[in-house]
Amino acid sequence: MKHPIKNNVSWIGKIDWELRRFHGDEYSTHRGSTYNSYLIEAEKVAVIDTVWAPFAKEYVAQLEQAIDLGKIDYVIANHAEIDHSGALPELMRRIPDVPIYCTANGVKSLRGHYHQDWNFRPVKTGDKLSLGSKELIFVEAPMLHWPDSMFCYLTGDDILFSNDAFGQHYASEHMFNDLVDQAELMAECIKYYANILTPFSELVTKKIQEVLGFNLPVDTICTSHGVVWRDNPIQIVQRYLAWAEGYQENQISLVYDTMWNGTRIMAESIATGLREADPAVNLKLFNLAKSDRNDVITEIFKSRALIVGSPTINRGILTSIAGLLEEVKGLKFRNKKAAAFGCYGWSGESVKLLRERLESAGFPVVEDGLRCLWNPDREGVAACLEFGRRLAGLL
Ligand code: FEO
């Protein structure tokens, strides 16, 4: 379980190949995840973060094989969320007097979760902890992505322990970014950013600039999920800077749900018209009821526009689409236009509702949207084709 990272720094976490849902049931993890904990064995010994609660006993047992627990001088809790602090109760039961270094918000959060009065040592940006010949420098990172989040930097080895930032839900027996499939790695990185970090994009940019402003050399980035960035670690920092600035590719996502295929026929006809008018755009269609919501959100994040379709049901829209728009609203995507469509049988409110929800989620909506009565007939399909051609010039 102990895996060398650099000099006297080791990984002591858990690779969770079985994980398929995270944050309760909110986030799909097709490739599993890891909970990364690190052990620094300098003149003083520090443990940085732990693992998710179900692995607490396994973690402490393995840690005990790696080092005599009595030799641990400091515990660093970069983040109080359960996937990183979950093994703290088991560990602190064994070493109850060892100080825990975290932010002031971390103290509140850890107390709130575990109701324990551990030996907390709150730290602020710039505070240092000597490990002998090396020291840890703390950097608060509030709302990246919780109020308590922080980074720490190890001098001498030039390692940034960034916790959730720059991570990805990606299980691998390889520890390092240069050893894994690069397409898989970047797919998981952008999914992680799109689904978790987008609401905090302005803070991402400011925090990265602040850390770069310290002029500390960064040789390695040790995140709390996924691989350790040892090969050109700045590449993921640069990706974050790009993703934080209203990121878009030449892509349009067309997301719909359908009851009796009318809205599906509309979606495919709109796509045909759009493709005729703009052959270069990467146009992707998703029936949301048959797609993974987090994967669709990632595709929306990559898009320059979102076209959403739902039939009318009970004067409203289908629940899959309603749930997606609620989540997208919270994610605060920027720099993406939108349009709406849907078929109906009698009352026909869906397109108006979609337009309103897209606008309230911050998407500039072009046109009033397109409605089709019952299943689209030849004229209805022609209207969809024309709508798609018009959208090519508007989105
Ligand atoms: Fe990986 Fe915010 O916990």
Mean pLDDT by 10-residue block, N- to C-terminus, for the chain (395 residues)?
A: 95 98 94 98 98 98 97 98 98 98 98 97 98 97 94 97 97 97 98 97 94 93 98 97 97 98 98 98 98 98 98 97 97 97 96 98 97 96 98 96
A 10 A CB-CB count for 58 gives: 14
Q: Is any ligand 1 atom within 6 A of the Cβ of residue 145?
A: yes
Angle at 241 between CA 334 and CA 51, to 5 degrees: 100
* Residue labelled with tokens 């995507």: 333
CA of 84 to the centre of ligand 1 (A): 7
* Cα–Cα dist 57/37, whole Å: 14
Residue 163 CA: nearest ligand 1 atom is 1
Residue 164 CA: nearest ligand 1 atom is 1
Catalytic site residue from 90, 140, 164, 188: 164
Is the pTM for the entire model greater than 0.85?
yes
What is the C-alpha radius of gyration for the chain, rounded to an integer number of angstroms?
24
Are 79 and 48 a contacting pair, CB within 8 Å?
A: no
Task: Name which of 356, 367, 359, 364 is nearest 336 in CA terms.
Answer: 364
* Cα–Cα dist 70/389, whole Å: 70
Residue 82 CA: nearest ligand 1 atom is 3
Instruction: Tell the residue nearest (CA) to atom 2 of ligand 1.
Output: 81
Q: Is any ligand 1 atom within 6 A of the Cβ of residue 79?
A: yes
73 is catalytic: no
Contacts of 206 by beta carbon, 8 Å cutoff, 6+ apart: none
* Cα–Cα dist 355/307, whole Å: 10
Catalytic site residue from 79, 90, 140, 193: 79
Which one-letter amino acid corresponds to residue 49? D
Determine the distance from the C-alpha atom of residue 2 to the mean position of all C-alpha atoms in its chain, rounded to a whole number.
Answer: 27
Catalytic site residue from 16, 49, 101, 145: 145
Q: CA quadruple 262, 263, 268, 273: dihedral positive or negative?
A: positive
Residue 261 has what pLDDT?
97
79 is catalytic: yes
CA of 388 to the centre of ligand 1 (A): 40
**What tokens appear for 65 in the block?**
């094989």
Are 237 and 230 a contacting pair, CB within 8 Å?
A: no
23 is catalytic: yes
Residue 96 has what pLDDT?
98
Instruction: Tell the residue nearest (CA) to atom 3 of ligand 1.
Output: 81
Determine the distance from the C-alpha atom of residue 142 to the mean position of all C-alpha atoms in its chain, rounded to a whole number.
Answer: 16
Which one-letter amino acid corresponds to residue 169? H
**What tokens appear for 167 in the block?**
């991570």
225 is catalytic: yes
Residue 1 has what pLDDT?
78
Determine the distance from the C-alpha atom of residue 223 to the mean position of all C-alpha atoms in its chain, rounded to a whole number.
Answer: 13
